[in-house]
């Protein structure tokens, strides 16, 4: 079932001049304000990268604006729905890289094409001897990944290339890489080409595009997203299983009844195992549990995420 809030994810590599960035930031802030949008837009000399939420008409307006600032008047928007606002703020940030691999000099061009659409990706995954590598971080891969995909256990995308090279794959082997919406792979693939890997392809539009096309395909688990939904399931619906742990901020799925205020909440396994005061719904309740106080009212003000 479709919710009321439209969430759209998009990026584009396109050269902007340094002097264009501030006016662009201001123009986007005006759009955000007028259309009452929430979310984050990163802009830089290499392009933009964003996830934004709002009511459907406002998102349509924003899309028109975004398309109007591109050289070729095309942007690929990946949409999903949510019943509640998955962001609490609207922010436009100017960044050195719109996705940080530590190589601002690597800019994908639209002429190169190492992209596989979901159908071709699906077929490629079934062929003999192919290697599938996840480019995402451990806190993402733990919620879900492609069947038999290699998880490099990285904490930050900037570690990707080094960890990939440690695997010493045969340079002629067919390698498939993927990420959430495709942008990380755009850069990763250029770095791997530089390293001599030529038979390497990326999933076009990332996991979000694949599960839209093939909800019963090779994707297993849920797909982590960078907003309050935490993850989306195979039908692009907000996760019912995961919530951000109030103690550490990582995704968790352990249901607890707060020992302080008795509210039901979700925490992560490692916090749950670490100390008795982590069997609480918030940092505030944990604090008061330690002090031995009761603060039923206060914890409610401290609740950051929608209860699931």
- Residues 82, 203, 258, 286: which binds Zn ion (CB under 5 A)? 258
Are 265 and 258 a contacting pair, CB within 8 Å? yes
What is the DSSP-derived secondary structure letter of residue 190? H
Q: Phi/psi of residue 189, each to 5°?
A: -65, -35
Minimum CB distance to Zn ion smaller for 31 or for 260: 260
Minimum CB distance to Zn ion smaller for 145 or for 299: 299
- Residues 177, 203, 261, 266: which binds Zn ion (CB under 5 A)? 261
Number of residues that bind Zn ion (CB under 5 A): 11
Are 40 and 115 a contacting pair, CB within 8 Å? no
Binding to Zn ion by CB under 5 A, coded x per residue (else -) over 204-243, reads ----------------------------------------
179, 185, 245, 285: the catalytic one is 179
What is the DSSP-derived secondary structure letter of residue 239? P
* CA distances, 102 to each of 33, 112, 184, 201, 223 (Å): 32, 21, 12, 21, 24
- Residues 35, 154, 190, 268: which binds Zn ion (CB under 5 A)? 268
- Catalytic residue list contains 179: yes
Give the contacts of 72 (CB within 8 A, at least 6 positions apart).
110
Minimum CB distance to Zn ion smaller for 186 or for 222: 222
Distance CA 272, CA 296 (A): 21
Is residue 247 close enough to count as binding Zn ion by CB under 5 A?
A: yes
- Residue 29: CB atoms within 10 A of its CB come to 14
Binding to Zn ion by CB under 5 A, coded x per residue (else -) over 281-300, reads x---x-------------x-
| Binding residues for Zn ion (CB under 5 A) | 245, 247-248, 258, 260-261, 268, 271, 281, 285, 299
User: Which amino acids are annotated catalytic?
Assistant: 179
């Amino acid at each position: 079932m479709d919710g009321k809030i439209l969430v759209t994810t998009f990026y584009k590599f396109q050269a902007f001049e340094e002097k264009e960035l501030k006016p662009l930031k201001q123009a986007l802030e005006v759009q955000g304000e007028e259309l009452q949008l929430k979310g984050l837009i990163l802009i830089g000399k290499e392009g933009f990268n964003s996830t934004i939420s709002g009511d459907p008409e406002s998102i349509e307006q924003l899309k028109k604006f975004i398309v109007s600032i591109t050289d070729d008047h095309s942007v690929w928007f990946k949409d999903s729905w949510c019943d509640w606002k998955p962001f609490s703020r609207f922010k436009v940030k100017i960044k050195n890289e719109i996705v940080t691999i530590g190589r601002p000099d690597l800019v994908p061009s639209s002429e190169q094409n190492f992209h596989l659409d979901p159908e071709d990706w699906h077929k490629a995954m079934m062929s003999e001897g192919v290697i599938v590598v996840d480019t995402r971080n451990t806190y993402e891969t733990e919620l879900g990944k492609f069947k038999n995909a290699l998880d490099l256990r990285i904490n930050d995308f900037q570690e990707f290339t080094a960890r990939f090279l440690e695997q010493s794959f045969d340079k002629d082997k067919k390698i498939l890489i993927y990420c959430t919406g495709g942008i990380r792979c755009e850069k990763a693939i250029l770095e791997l080409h530089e390293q001599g890997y030529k038979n390497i392809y990326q999933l076009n539009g990332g996991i979000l595009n694949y599960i839209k096309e093939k909800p019963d395909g090779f994707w297993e688990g849920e797909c982590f997203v960078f907003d309050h939904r935490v993850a989306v399931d195979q039908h692009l619906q907000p996760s019912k299983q995961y919530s951000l742990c109030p103690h550490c901020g990582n995704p968790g799925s352990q249901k607890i009844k707060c020992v302080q205020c008795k509210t039901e909440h979700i925490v992560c396994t490692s916090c749950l195992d670490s100390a008795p005061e982590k069997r609480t719904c918030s940092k505030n309740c944990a604090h008061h549990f330690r002090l031995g106080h009761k603060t039923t009212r206060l914890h409610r003000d401290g609740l950051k995420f929608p209860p699931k």
